Homo-oligomer: A and B are copies of this chain.
Amino acid sequence: VTRYAPEHKDQVHRRIVSRAAVQLRQKGVRGVSVAELMQSAGLTHGGFYAHFASKEALIAEACSHVMAGTAERLSAAADGVEPLASRAALIEAYLSPAHRDDPGRGCVIPALGAELGREGPAIRQAFSAGLQQVFDIVAECTPASTPEQARQDALATVATLVGTLLLARAAADSTLATEILDAGRAALLN
């Protein structure tokens, strides 16, 4: 191995978080094992505790990381287009079959939602903070009479997005999954 560059540790740290972010969304909190994760990051499991105090600390960090990524992706989807179309673009992006079929690279909320409510405060804080960001982004591209109204609409919109994706993923047959996705899109776009 090359001698440790000063930024080496940070890079490793980030790689672990990044791998964890993917596996978390694919397999859930309990489905991720420290050993497997470290191996997929090219390390052995012993080194894990040089980077994180515990598995929980990693999960919390990975949560923040993913929420930030989600916010960024939503922003990007809404940014390129004219203001009026931005909300629609965002919804289309969120409720796409691609997003449904690739949880590992998508939004954490439908992927982990329920599990997060059972975890400790550190994880919930990390999650809540990201959630607020998402709400703000959606509110920004929501046309409404007042900012309060826009925020309220945004909350409901996010709820529908999340619920729709969740149901679509859990549905046993793909016909139903597609029907759910379509219904969600239709309802949000009037």
Contacts and interface: CB of A to CB of B under 8 A. Distances in A.
Interface of A: 26-28, 30-31, 103, 109-118, 121, 124-125, 127-128, 131-132, 151-153, 155-164, 166-167, 169-173, 176, 179-180, 182-184, 186-188
Contacts of A163: 158-164, 166
A56 to B, nearest CB: 15
B30 A187 contact: no
A160 B160 CA distance: 4
8 contacts: A103-B117, A128-B170, A128-B172, A128-B173, A131-B167, A159-B164, A162-B166, A166-B166
Q: Which of A153, A172, A180 has the most CB of B within 10 A?
A: A172
Contact of A114 (B110, B121, B184): B110
Contact of A124 (B131, B172, B187): B172
B118 A27 contact: yes
A31 B166 CA distance: 20
A112 B179 CA distance: 21
Given A114-B166, A121-B172, A155-B183, 19 more contacts: A30-B31, A110-B113, A112-B113, A113-B166, A114-B169, A115-B115, A124-B170, A127-B170, A128-B170, A128-B176, A131-B170, A132-B176, A152-B186, A153-B187, A155-B179, A155-B184, A156-B164, A160-B163, A166-B166
